[in-house]
């Protein structure tokens, strides 16, 4: 069995921006509040962190900052995926050099490579580093999904240890578990499927919800692991409205707006992301009020 990089709820953390770059003072505040809230790990420079619009310098600086701020208190996982294999290797090696605990590597977007290409891509990255890798399957964003035989092949690599599944297809996830067993640790990539994926042997979630509700997202996972499935399920169901609001427009638009409403200087969304539609913002605000997050 491969060892989980973390167990529980990892926050897919936002990146607070100014008009000119990263707001490191506020970034530190967000990180400290996440740790106080019980978050089990931090994923930096992922989708929610707007890594797609970061320069290479910013991407690396954000990873280094989070590692330095966390100081080993909880695991730090860096998003280092790219549609350019050579750049993904370079970024992964950099993240390893500054001390991350894991690498989150999304499938190559836009290129739409074959499954053979996916295997070659991931093996090249895994061969170039010693830090454990989490595969990231999110075909709605990338245009390519990881098929079951590809998982079976990639699971043979000792450095490929886990998968973040955000394909939304529980039947496929069931068949993934049947095919690879414990050779790939399973994490949910969707906040509305945390408990269902835990019931299939998942070890946690990489969560957008954790940005605004770290304690309860952690509690949802921990309750399940403690055998209190009823509490875990009740939390999953209770947060449906807020999860829906956080994904009523493409992530990370709603969560960035939510963090502003909670008093964080989250800063602007980077183009081509735009501000929320007024009706969606009202939906988000109502959900935050409903959970006592806004007074």
The strand pairing partners of 22, in sequence order, are: 17
Question: Which residue among the candidates 94, 122, 136, 224 is catalytic per the annotation?
Answer: 136
CB 145 within 8 A of CB 167: yes
CB 217 within 8 A of CB 9: yes
Alpha carbons 203 and 220: distance in angstroms, whole number: 12
Residue 255 phi/psi, 5-degree rounding, is -70, -35
292 burial type by CB count under 10 A (0-12 exposed, 13-18 middle, 19+ buried)? exposed
State the first-to-last Cα distance of the chain, in angstroms, to the nearest integer: 46
Active site residue 203: no
DSSP string, 143-203: S----HHHHHHHTTSTTEEEEEE-S--HHHHHHHHHHHGGGSEEEES-GGGHHHHHHTT--
Active site residue 136: yes
Alpha carbons 105 and 112: distance in angstroms, whole number: 15
Alpha carbons 186 and 117: distance in angstroms, whole number: 22
Alpha carbons 228 and 231: distance in angstroms, whole number: 6
**What's the Cα-to-Cα distance from 220 to each of 8, 125, 243, 291, rounded to whole Å?**
9, 33, 14, 15
**What's the Cα-to-Cα distance from 247 to each of 15, 169, 191, 255, 280, rounded to whole Å?**
18, 17, 10, 8, 10
Question: Which residue among the candidates 94, 122, 151, 164 is catalytic per the annotation?
Answer: 164
Q: Point out the residues that are catalytic.
A: 136, 164
């Amino acid at each position: 069995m491969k060892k989980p990089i973390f167990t529980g709820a990892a926050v897919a953390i936002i990146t607070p921006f100014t008009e000119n770059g990263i707001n490191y003072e506020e970034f530190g505040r967000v990180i400290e509040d996440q740790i106080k809230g019980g978050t089990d790990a931090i994923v930096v420079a992922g989708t929610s962190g707007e890594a797609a619009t970061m320069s290479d310098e910013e991407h690396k600086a954000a990873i280094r900052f989070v590692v330095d701020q966390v100081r080993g208190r909880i695991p730090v996982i860096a998003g280092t995926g790219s549609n350019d294999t050579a750049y993904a290797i370079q970024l992964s090696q950099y993240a390893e050099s500054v001390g991350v605990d894991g690498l989150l590597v999304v499938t190559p977007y836009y290129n739409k490579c074959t499954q053979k290409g996916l295997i070659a891509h991931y093996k090249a990255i895994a061969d170039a580093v010693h830090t454990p890798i989490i595969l990231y399957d999110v075909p709605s964003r990338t245009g390519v999904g990881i098929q079951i035989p590809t998982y079976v092949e990639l699971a043979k690599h000792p450095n490929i240890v886990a998968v973040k599944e955000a394909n939304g297809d529980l039947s496929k996830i069931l068949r993934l578990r049947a095919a690879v067993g414990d050779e790939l640790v399973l994490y949910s990539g969707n906040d509305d499927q945390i408990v269902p994926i835990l019931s299939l042997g998942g070890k946690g979630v990489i969560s957008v919800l954790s940005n605004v509700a770290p304690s309860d997202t952690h509690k949802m996972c921990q309750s399940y692991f403690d055998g209190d499935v009823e509490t875990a399920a009740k939390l999953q169901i209770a947060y449906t409205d807020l999860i829906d609001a956080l994904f009523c427009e493409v992530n990370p638009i709603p969560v960035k707006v939510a963090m502003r409403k909670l008093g964080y200087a989250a800063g602007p969304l980077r183009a081509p992301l735009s501000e929320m539609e007024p009706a969606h913002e009202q939906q988000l605000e109502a959900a935050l009020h409903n959970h006592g997050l806004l007074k």
